Each structure stands twice: as C-alpha cells, then as structure tokens.
C-alpha cells in the first residue's frame, strides 16, 4: 500500500486478482480481501471496479465520511469501487480552518477506509477559490503565497506516497467565451503564476503523486477548455510539472455530454498528460441516462491515457444535486439502468455476487482497517452467518513476519508457533442467527511493514 503509486491505476485490484484466481480454477481463500471463495469457474467481472481494472482503469466514487456509518452505503462503496475521492473532507476549509492549524482526523478516517479496502485515492483539492476558510481572504500577497505553499506542502506530506492523483488546482478558469482566469484571492493577488507555483510546490511535496488540473465545463472543445489546453501545452513546453487533467463531467439536459467529448479528451492526452473523468454525474433516469453514461465510459476506453472514471457519489440520495437523480444507485442502493450500461461498457456482466453467500450452515469473513497511526493500525474482521444459524465459528488472521498483533478484542485468540497466525474463536458460545454478523478487532504493530493481514476461511460449528 505504501509504494509510490504513480502507475497504480494500471495495477490489478483485489477484485481483478479474484477474477484471475477464479479463471485459473483456484479454489480457496483470497485472504487479503477477506473474501471467501467457495468454488471457482471462469466468469466475467461483476462490479464496476473489477470491470474497470480489466480495462487497465479504475472506477471510483466521491465518498462522504459521515455516511460510512450507514451499512448499505459502505457495502456498496466497498463492493463496487476501487478508487475514492473525499467529497469535502480534504478541501482547505476542512484541513486548515485556522492558519497553520491542520485538522486531519476526518480525512485520515477517509484514507484509512479507502486504503483498508485496497482502493486508489484521488486527492481533492489543494488550491480552489471555493470552500476556503475565511482567514485566507484577508491575507496580503506575500502571506497568501506563503500560506498557499504551506498548505500544499503540509497536506501532501501528510498523505505522501498514498495518493495516486491530486487535484492541485481546481476551477481556475471562467465560464463563457473569455478564456480568462477566474477571480479568486490567488488570481487577484498572485496573478496567473499562482497555478504554476502550486504545481511546482506540489511536485516537491509528493513526487510520487500525479498532479492534475481539474475543471468543469471543459468537457468539450470550447473557449474555457481551449484556455486550459493552452495552459497545459505551455506547462509541458516549459517543464512545469503537470501529469493529468481532470474533466469533472457534471451533465444535465442544459449541459449534455458533448458530441466531441472523446476528441477533447484525446487532444489533451496528445499533449502528453493523462486524462481522468473526475466528478461524473448525469441528471436524468432510465434509458436516456444510461445511454449518456455509456457514451462517457466508451469515450474513456477509447483514449489510452484516460486512467479512470470517478462518479460524484454512491447514491442519488446523497448527491449534491439529489433531485436530479444523477448517479448509478438509487436512494435504496438499487442498481439503475445507468449502472448496467456502465458495467457492460466496461466489459462486466451484471448479476453476479462478488461476496459469495456462505450458504446453509456456513460463515464468511471480511476485513477492514478502522484506524491507523504512525506505528500501528487496527483491523476489524466481520463474521457473517450463512442462511442458517450457527453456534460457533473459527477463523484465522495471518500477519507478516515483521508485524506483531499486540492487542485483540471481542474474541478468544490462540497462536501458532511463529506468532504470525492467530486463530480466533468467539468469546462465549458465539451463536449467530442466519445472516447475522459479529466482529472482532486487533492492533497490528507495523514495524515498517504496512501490508494487510490475510484471512483464512471461516468454519462454523
């Protein structure tokens, strides 16, 4: 998880590995993901993330940390997506509400969840005119430059090596035909050069992260996208560090998917940058919405430097424009026609269940990381009974030889002679009704090795 991750969108996710394992006829346990594989035959990917990974791309979503406590939200997020962007929690007002006083707790929760699930992460966003804390607006030019560079540096260093792409500067150009820069404290006091300076500071702070410029209404060829294009061309010509351009892609009937969407992505890619669809949502419903989503996915697949797609939320009910029902899951987490269109465009097949039902008399286990500190992390294993009640269960957790499990809770552990394999049984009789869950937890001392624990199978009594 900790390696520099510039090229990680190309790397197969656990779901891709799951599919390959199935295709090879492997029957066993994919322990790192905590997924019990009960039987194996070759089959197409059945989730957005796995299907995208088969195409060498990611499929991500914006995540609202305060929704992670809702089990359907988290289950859908974990099952379907292999990349995540914090919807609000990594913006300037959230991370540095007072000058020099950084608040990383909520963003850390987001990072722990995403990384615990093996997701790639897009960082959003370092320099933006919106969601700025009030103190930024009262600075003079010298202080503003210092504050901007300090903000970029502190935030990027906090997550150094853990973010695949950062939106370094967001929405710096005006809408309409002028092609001008948008007024903002940065533009007004520092001039055009603030964008270049932000990118140079960002490269120094985390050399492994791809550095993106991100904007909306730049999805087709128009005055605004031409202005961004000219800036990127200039940056590439002068060696200003920029790796990617994000196309937000917020669409509705007034602003539909442009007919030159693919061509516009391609012309940016031809400048020598990656392109990413970063905040996709399309208002509408039914077949029309599905067709628009399909067009967007196909456009990305046709541009080799299009790394992946992020939709701007998991479910319609929490969308920033919920009344337009712009996302892939409805308010009850049902898959919409748009979901099926996206999955099929990615080469996946609907209908599969990536978390196999443990069946009568069985149980299954899944893992997630719940906290991380400088030297340790907490893991949680959730045990789920199958379609009939069980009266006890046993599973194993294996950590690497460098790591130590220092504490456990909600279970009775025993250890093998190496000390790396913990067999966990319930406290008490461990009875679980059909479909019910329980969980146990443990602290792993990393000792420099941040690899995820591997789960064995779940055996029910």
Residues that bind ligand G3I (CB under 6 A): 87-88, 130-131, 216, 248, 279, 320
Q: Is the dihedral of CA 117, 171, 221, 273 positive or negative?
A: negative
DSSP H or E segment with residue 29: strand 29-30
335 secondary structure, DSSP code:
B
Closest listed residue to residue 264, CA positions, set 300, 217, 219, 310: 219
Question: Number of C-alpha atoms within 13 angstroms, CB side, residue 169?
Answer: 27
The verdict on whether 344 is a catalytic residue reads no
DSSP H or E segment with residue 309: strand 306-311
CA 127, CA 446: separation in Å to the nearest integer? 33
Q: What are the distances in angstroms from CA 82 to CA 120, 307, 396, 456?
A: 6, 13, 25, 23
Closest listed residue to residue 242, CA positions, set 146, 154, 172, 159: 172
| Catalytic residue from among 89, 171, 197, 369 | 171
CB of 88 to ligand G3I, least distance (A): 5
Q: How far is it between the farthest Cα atoms of the chain?
A: 71
Residue 97 CB contacts under 8 Å (≥ 6 apart), including other chains: 103, 133
**Shorter beta-carbon distance to ligand G3I: residue 313 or 453:** 313
CB of 319 to ligand G3I, least distance (A): 8
179: helix, coil or strand?
coil
CB of 131 to ligand G3I, least distance (A): 5
| Catalytic residue from among 54, 96, 197, 279 | 279
Q: What are the distances in angstroms from CA 12 to CA 25, 45, 419?
A: 18, 12, 30
The verdict on whether 279 is a catalytic residue reads yes
**Shorter beta-carbon distance to ligand G3I: residue 65 or 227:** 65
CB of 174 to ligand G3I, least distance (A): 15
CA 229, CA 326: separation in Å to the nearest integer? 28
Give residue number: closest CB to ligand G3I: 320
**Shorter beta-carbon distance to ligand G3I: residue 114 or 385:** 114
CB of 247 to ligand G3I, least distance (A): 11
**Shorter beta-carbon distance to ligand G3I: residue 248 or 315:** 248
**Shorter beta-carbon distance to ligand G3I: residue 132 or 288:** 132
**Shorter beta-carbon distance to ligand G3I: residue 131 or 287:** 131
CB of 130 to ligand G3I, least distance (A): 5
116 secondary structure, DSSP code:
H
Catalytically active residues, by annotation: 171, 279
């Amino acid at each position: 998880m900790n390696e520099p991750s510039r090229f990680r969108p190309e790397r197969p996710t656990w779901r891709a590995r799951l599919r390959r394992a199935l295709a090879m006829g492997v029957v066993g346990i994919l322990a790192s993901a905590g997924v019990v594989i009960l039987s194996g035959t070759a089959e197409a990917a059945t989730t957005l993330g796995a299907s995208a990974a088969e195409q060498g791309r990611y499929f991500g979503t914006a995540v609202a940390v305060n929704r992670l406590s809702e089990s359907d939200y988290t289950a859908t997020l974990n099952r379907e997506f292999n990349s995540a962007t914090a919807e609000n929690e990594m913006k300037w007002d959230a991370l540095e509400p007072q000058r020099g006083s950084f608040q990383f707790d909520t963003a850390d929760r987001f990072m722990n969840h995403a990384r615990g699930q093996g997701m790639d992460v897009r960082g959003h966003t370092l320099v933006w005119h919106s969601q700025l804390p009030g103190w930024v607006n009262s600075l003079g030019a010298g202080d503003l430059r210092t504050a901007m560079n300090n903000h970029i540096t502190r935030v990027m260093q906090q997550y150094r090596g853990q973010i695949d792409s950062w939106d370094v500067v967001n929405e710096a150009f005006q809408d309409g035909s002028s092609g001008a820069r948008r007024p903002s404290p940065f533009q007004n006091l520092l001039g055009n050069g603030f964008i270049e300076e932000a990118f140079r500071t960002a490269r120094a702070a985390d050399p492994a992260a791809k550095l993106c410029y991100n904007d909306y209404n730049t999805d087709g060829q128009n005055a605004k996208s031409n202005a961004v294009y000219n800036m990127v061309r200039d940056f590439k010509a002068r060696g200003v560090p920029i790796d990617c351009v994000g196309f937000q892609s917020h669409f509705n009937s007034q602003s539909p998917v442009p007919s030159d969407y693919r061509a516009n992505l391609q012309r940016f890619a031809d400048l020598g940058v990656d392109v990413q669809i970063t905040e996709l949502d399309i208002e509408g419903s039914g077949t029309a919405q599905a067709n628009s989503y399909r067009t967007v996915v196909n456009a990305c697949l046709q541009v080799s430097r299009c790394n992946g797609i992020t939709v701007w939320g998991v479910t319609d009910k929490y969308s920033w424009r919920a009344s337009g029902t712009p996302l892939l899951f409805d308010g009850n987490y049902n898959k919409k026609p748009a979901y099926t269109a996206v999955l099929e465009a990615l080469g996946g097949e609907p209908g599969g269940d990536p978390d196999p039902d443990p069946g009568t008399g069985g149980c299954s286990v899944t893992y997630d990381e719940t906290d991380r500190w400088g030297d340790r992390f907490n893991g949680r294993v959730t045990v789920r009974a199958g379609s009939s009640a069980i009266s006890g269960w046993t599973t194993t957790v294996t950590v690497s030889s460098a790591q130590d499990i220092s504490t456990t809770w909600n279970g009775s552990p025993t250890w093998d002679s190496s000390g790396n394999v913990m067999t966990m049984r319930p406290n008490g009789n461990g009875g679980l009704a059909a479909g019910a869950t329980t969980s146990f937890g443990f602290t792993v001392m990393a000792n420099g090795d941040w690899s995820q624990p591997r789960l064995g199978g779940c055996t029910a009594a």
